[in-house]
Structure 1
Amino acid sequence: MTSERALAETAKAWPFEEARKLLKRLDGRTPDKGYVLFETGYGPSGLPHIGTFGEVVRTTMVRDAFARLSDIPTRLFCFSDDMDGLRKVPDNVPNKEMLARHLGKPLTAIPDPFGDAHESFGAHNNARLRAFLDAFGFEYEFQSSTDFYRSGRFDAALLKVLERYDEIMQVMLPTLGEERRRTYSPFLPVSPTTGRVLQVPILERKLEAGTIVFEDEDGRKTELPVTGGHCKLQWKPDWGMRWAALDVDYEMSGKDLIDSVRLASRICKILDGQPPEGFTYELFLDEKGEKISKSKGNGLSVEEWLTYAPPESLSLFMYQKPRAAKKLYFDVIPRTVDDYLTFLGKFEGEAAEKRLENPVWHIHGGEPPREPVHLTFSLLLNLVGACNAEAPEVLWGFISRYAPGASAQSDPILAKLVDYAIVYYRDFVKPTKRYRGPTADERPAFQDLLTELEALPDTADGETIQNRVYEIGKRETFPSLRDWFKACYEVLLGQEQGPRLGSFFALYGLPESRALVARALAGEDLARA
């Protein structure tokens, strides 16, 4: 552990840089509360989404890195803002009419529209969040805003907000439009008559009594304590209050919340707290380069990604360049899976200091699986297409010949990739395939390819085959080698890009590869083969 700690102190991977920043903030000492607190936030008016996963997995990576640098205990709170009032009825829920009758009420005071025996809509979505996080094996502690407000755990901080009301207003009012300023208050009282969370002006503050006075929805002047769940805070003051009340040490947030972080930090300081160490990550873009929006539905969900690829590949996508905007759509999946396999294949042979720079160290908390990487995902996709396989057993017939000893039992990662490849090929690759026959100018090269493949023994390896394919491209009349390989992909695989051909022919088998070229030369429709 000592040697690993020494290496971690200079490791350049961004989670280690973040962890060292946090350790410096603590001056190497355990906080008075006895642990370092990492936090992520979640608004449970909708179901968990890919941004939720990204924030938790990245925070976990920093937490794991911190554990290699220090023996200070850590905790991770996944905090649900479930006392927020429901502002609009989500599109993806049943019983919309029922929900519409409860608009404005805290999410935890609204009946569950799904009828799943949860005590509220908020409780339903919180359960979904926990199941979502548990499915990935995250180590975390779920926390409910409603529980903290109603149990009194925020009471001391809320009374301090009341005491320093004017200072907080000085922070918030310049950020608001003229109309909003006239009614704004950090406190949102919960109406005792309707149960709704109200955005109303505060008519009077009574510091000694710890109460506020406002006009309720029935027009009557009403006095409520700011404690005990009778009020909640607007979300930016709420964020700063929570940081101060819990003494949060580290929290990430997206680029779109930079101004909110600044305001929450000022409020945290007004409440005698120290804002947490932070990390600003970039937002995801769709394939057109537009910002992903839940309301637009132009993104890629966690469930969709996991239909076609393992969770480790999604973790890698989150790990790589978190401060750069990245396109998140289906075409990035195969490349990301192959990048994961590449990093996994390198790990075993790397020096200790290099392992800490390898993304799989961070994806697997320092203990990546030890399994040989026999095949890339791209190769598997092309194998599925070449043999029109819809059953894993068919693919395993080719794989076991290419990699003797490999099996679904001994190679669980590969076994999962086989299943994913079949589904991804069916949904995304097959519909886009466009085979063509070789042109008159190309036919000599393909005849040459068939001759070379026939001259090779069936046991020839991928590198040997690749050299022959390469030599054909150099000696035939193609403007460039790229044009030769492109012709091979279009004629034999029905696509403009493809795998390393030597590896593909070796995996598919030389007898099958010779037959494939022969059928193309004979003018057969390979799409129907």
Structure 2
Amino acid sequence: MTDDRTYAQAARAWPFEEARKLVDRYKAGAPKKGYVLFETGYGPSGLPHIGTFGEVVRCTMVRQAFQRLSDIPTRLFAFSDDMDGLRKVPTNVPNQEMLQKFIGMPLTKVPDPFGTHESFGHHNNAMLRGFLDGFGFEYEFKSSTELYQAGVFDQGLLDVLKHYQAIMDVMLPSLREERAASYSPFLPVCRKTGRVLQVPVLETNVAAGTIVYQDEDGSKVETPVTGGHCKLQWKPDWAMRWHVLGVDYEMSGKDLIPSVQLGNKICEILGSPPPDGFNYELFLDDKGQKISKSKGNGLSVEEWLEYAPPESLALFMYQKPRAAKRLYFDVIPRAVDDYLTFVEKFDGEAPAQKLENPAWHIHNGQPPKAASALTYGILLNLASVANAETKDTLWGFISKYQPDATPTTAPFLDKLVGYAINYYRDHVKPSKKYKAPDEMERAALAELLAALEAAPETADAAELQNIVFEVGKKHPFPELRAWFKALYETLLGQETGPRMGSFFALYGRKNSIELIKKALEGKLA
């Protein structure tokens, strides 16, 4: 353990850099609550999405790194702001006309449009928990409604009331003039309608723990700020939550930097240090535009998992979290193969190197043995050439190339086969277009055909790859890359592709020879 901690203290991987902030935070000893608290937030007005996954997986990676650096226990809260009022009806749920009648009601008081849970908030909370459980995250679910109504936040709410004017002084400069005119940190819950009201607060009474607000009908109402009679606007609410729960670490998107800064100030006014954390960059679509749920230009978790394993999505989230990255279908094959490479390298690395390997962070230091001898790219190109519609088609080639592998003995490979077929069907087949070889390419292909026919039956992938290299060198391509691009375009119908030696070995030499003949005879283009 001592050696492991020594390596962890020097590790440069970003989760360790983040974890060391928390080590410094508690270098004098554990906090009074007895544990370091990580938190992620969720707004249950919609279904969990890829940003939710990214935040939880990244926070988990920092937590795991901290556990290698410190003996202080840790907890992770997945917090749902389910007492928030329904502001607008989501476009992707049924019974929208019914939901329209409940605008302003706390999400846990809005009927479930799906008809399966106690409320819309409860439905989406169940979706969140199922979503996180499906990935095996270790977390504790916390409901805003439950904590407000159980009195967990009562002292925090009284603290906000006590420092009402100081908090107003922080918030008002950040608001538009029209919004500032009626702003209050407190949102009373109407006794008559149950709606969460955004109305002016006319008086505050610290001694009584109450506020007086102007109701929507113009009357004055006095109500306690405790016991679920009020909730807070989301920025003061965020800060109050940090203050009451003692949150030590929470990350958020770059777009929330101003909100974090406001929250930090309010948390300090309430008498607590704000949490550590960092702001991650937002995702871009294939055109470099910011991903927006309303635009629908993003890639969902469900879509990613249709074509690749969750570990590859975790890797995508791990890599360069502070850099804007394009998140669209074309990044999936590379993410899978990068994941396979990191897992394959792990066992042979020195202890210090392992802590820098993303596989360590994806699997909490215990990645599986090499998951697949075949890359996703190879399987994808095999599916493309074989026009595969079922797993059996690809396994027919795989079983000849790797006789000891079966769907039962190689379950991860079997999953990759299914993912590759799905990706080929939806994202390769519709745009596949073969190029007819030009004169130089024809000469090179003819020589490659002869070389494959003359190669010994025992030639393996490496030897076949060497044949491909040697043939390319003999012809006046401007660079070898142009030769491989010509192979991909004429034989596979795409601009990029796999190591051709590995592909020929998997597809079978006889099939590969027939493929080259078809290209030369003009039967592919």
TM-score by length of 1: 0.97
Instruction: Tell me the alpha carbon deviations over residues 371-401 of structure 1, each in whole angstroms, 9 at most, x when there is no partner.
Output: 3531110010011112222221221222222
Aligned residues: 525
1:30-49 alignment runs, 5 A limit: 30-49=30-49
**Shift of residue 286, structure 1, vs aligned partner:** 0.6
Instruction: Tell me the alpha carbon deviations over residues 215-245 of structure 1, each in whole angstroms, 9 at most, x when there is no partner.
Output: 1122221111000001000111001111001
Taking the aligned partners of 1:372 and 1:115, their CA distance within structure 2 comes to 41
Equivalent residue for 1:240? Answer: 239
1:13-412 alignment runs, 5 A limit: 13-27=13-27, 29-116=29-116, 118-371=117-370, 373-412=372-411
**Shift of residue 511, structure 1, vs aligned partner:** 1.1
Between 1:428-437 and 1:249-258, the stretch displaced more is 428-437
Instruction: Tell me the alpha carbon deviations over residues 485-519 of structure 1, each in whole angstroms, 9 at most, x when there is no partner.
Output: 22211111111111111111111111111111112
Taking the aligned partners of 1:77 and 1:443, their CA distance within structure 2 comes to 62
**Shift of residue 301, structure 1, vs aligned partner:** 0.3
Equivalent residue for 1:457? Answer: 456
Taking the aligned partners of 1:230 and 1:119, their CA distance within structure 2 comes to 21
**Shift of residue 432, structure 1, vs aligned partner:** 1.1
SS in 2 for 1:441: helix
Taking the aligned partners of 1:446 and 1:367, their CA distance within structure 2 comes to 45
Taking the aligned partners of 2:422 and 2:292, their CA distance within structure 1 comes to 26
Between 1:456-465 and 1:254-263, the stretch displaced more is 456-465
Taking the aligned partners of 1:436 and 1:247, their CA distance within structure 2 comes to 62
Equivalent residue for 2:8? Answer: 8
**Shift of residue 482, structure 1, vs aligned partner:** 2.2
**Shift of residue 479, structure 1, vs aligned partner:** 2.9
Taking the aligned partners of 2:457 and 2:420, their CA distance within structure 1 comes to 26
Amino acid of the residue matched to residue 420 of structure 1?
Answer: Y
Q: 2:399–2:405: 8 Å Cα contact kept in structure 1?
A: yes
SS in 2 for 1:378: helix
SS in 1 for 2:40: strand
**Shift of residue 99, structure 1, vs aligned partner:** 0.7
Q: 2:340–2:370: 8 Å Cα contact kept in structure 1?
A: no
Q: 2:111–2:118: 8 Å Cα contact kept in structure 1?
A: yes
SS in 1 for 2:332: helix
Amino acid of the residue matched to residue 420 of structure 2?
Answer: A
Q: 2:490–2:524: 8 Å Cα contact kept in structure 1?
A: no
Amino acid of the residue matched to residue 456 of structure 2?
Answer: P
**Shift of residue 437, structure 1, vs aligned partner:** 2.6
The answer to whether structure 1 residue 447 and structure 2 residue 456 are counterparts is no
Taking the aligned partners of 2:315 and 2:282, their CA distance within structure 1 comes to 16
Q: 1:458–1:509: 8 Å Cα contact kept in structure 2?
A: no
Taking the aligned partners of 1:8 and 1:221, their CA distance within structure 2 comes to 59
SS in 1 for 2:228: coil
Amino acid of the residue matched to residue 55 of structure 1?
Answer: E
SS in 2 for 1:331: helix
Q: 1:40–1:79: 8 Å Cα contact kept in structure 2?
A: yes
Q: 1:88–1:103: 8 Å Cα contact kept in structure 2?
A: yes
1:463-478 alignment runs, 5 A limit: 463-478=462-477
SS in 2 for 1:232: strand
**Shift of residue 129, structure 1, vs aligned partner:** 0.4
Taking the aligned partners of 2:216 and 2:177, their CA distance within structure 1 comes to 23
Aligned alpha-carbon RMSD (Å): 1.1
Amino acid of the residue matched to residue 276 of structure 1?
Answer: P
Taking the aligned partners of 1:438 and 1:186, their CA distance within structure 2 comes to 69
Amino acid of the residue matched to residue 225 of structure 2?
Answer: V
Equivalent residue for 1:511? Answer: 510
Amino acid of the residue matched to residue 162 of structure 1?
Answer: L
Taking the aligned partners of 1:61 and 1:458, their CA distance within structure 2 comes to 48
Amino acid of the residue matched to residue 81 of structure 2?
Answer: D
Instruction: Tell me the alpha carbon deviations over residues 19-59 of structure 1, each in whole angstroms, 9 at most, x when there is no partner.
Output: 11111111151110111100000000000000000000000
Q: Structure 2 unaligned segments of length 5 or more: list them.
A: none
Q: 2:283–2:290: 8 Å Cα contact kept in structure 1?
A: yes
Taking the aligned partners of 1:368 and 1:193, their CA distance within structure 2 comes to 56
Between 1:78-87 and 1:475-484, the stretch displaced more is 475-484
Q: 1:458–1:511: 8 Å Cα contact kept in structure 2?
A: no
SS in 2 for 1:143: strand
SS in 2 for 1:212: strand
Instruction: Tell me the alpha carbon deviations over residues 83-118 of structure 1, each in whole angstroms, 9 at most, x when there is no partner.
Output: 1111111000111111110101110111111101x1
Q: 1:44–1:122: 8 Å Cα contact kept in structure 2?
A: yes
SS in 1 for 2:181: helix
After the TM superposition, which parts of structure 1 deviate over 3 Å for at least 4 consecutive aligned residues? none
Between 1:489-498 and 1:298-307, the stretch displaced more is 489-498
**Shift of residue 266, structure 1, vs aligned partner:** 0.6
Percentage identity across paired residues of the two chains: 68
Amino acid of the residue matched to residue 338 of structure 1?
Answer: D
Amino acid of the residue matched to residue 30 of structure 1?
Answer: A
Taking the aligned partners of 2:4 and 2:157, their CA distance within structure 1 comes to 44
Amino acid of the residue matched to residue 78 of structure 1?
Answer: A
Q: 1:453–1:514: 8 Å Cα contact kept in structure 2?
A: yes
TM-score by length of 2: 0.98
Q: Structure 1 unaligned segments of length 5 or more: list them.
A: none
Between 1:18-27 and 1:391-400, the stretch displaced more is 391-400
Taking the aligned partners of 2:138 and 2:414, their CA distance within structure 1 comes to 27
Amino acid of the residue matched to residue 94 of structure 2?
Answer: P
Q: 2:212–2:220: 8 Å Cα contact kept in structure 1?
A: yes
Amino acid of the residue matched to residue 488 of structure 2?
Answer: Y
**Shift of residue 323, structure 1, vs aligned partner:** 0.5
Amino acid of the residue matched to residue 128 of structure 1?
Answer: M
SS in 1 for 2:321: coil
Amino acid of the residue matched to residue 151 of structure 1?
Answer: A
Amino acid of the residue matched to residue 285 of structure 1?
Answer: L
Equivalent residue for 2:426? Answer: 427
Structure 1's 334 and 220: CA in aligned 2 closer, same or farther, altered over 3 A?
Answer: same
Structure 1's 406 and 37: CA in aligned 2 closer, same or farther, altered over 3 A?
Answer: same
Taking the aligned partners of 2:276 and 2:521, their CA distance within structure 1 comes to 66
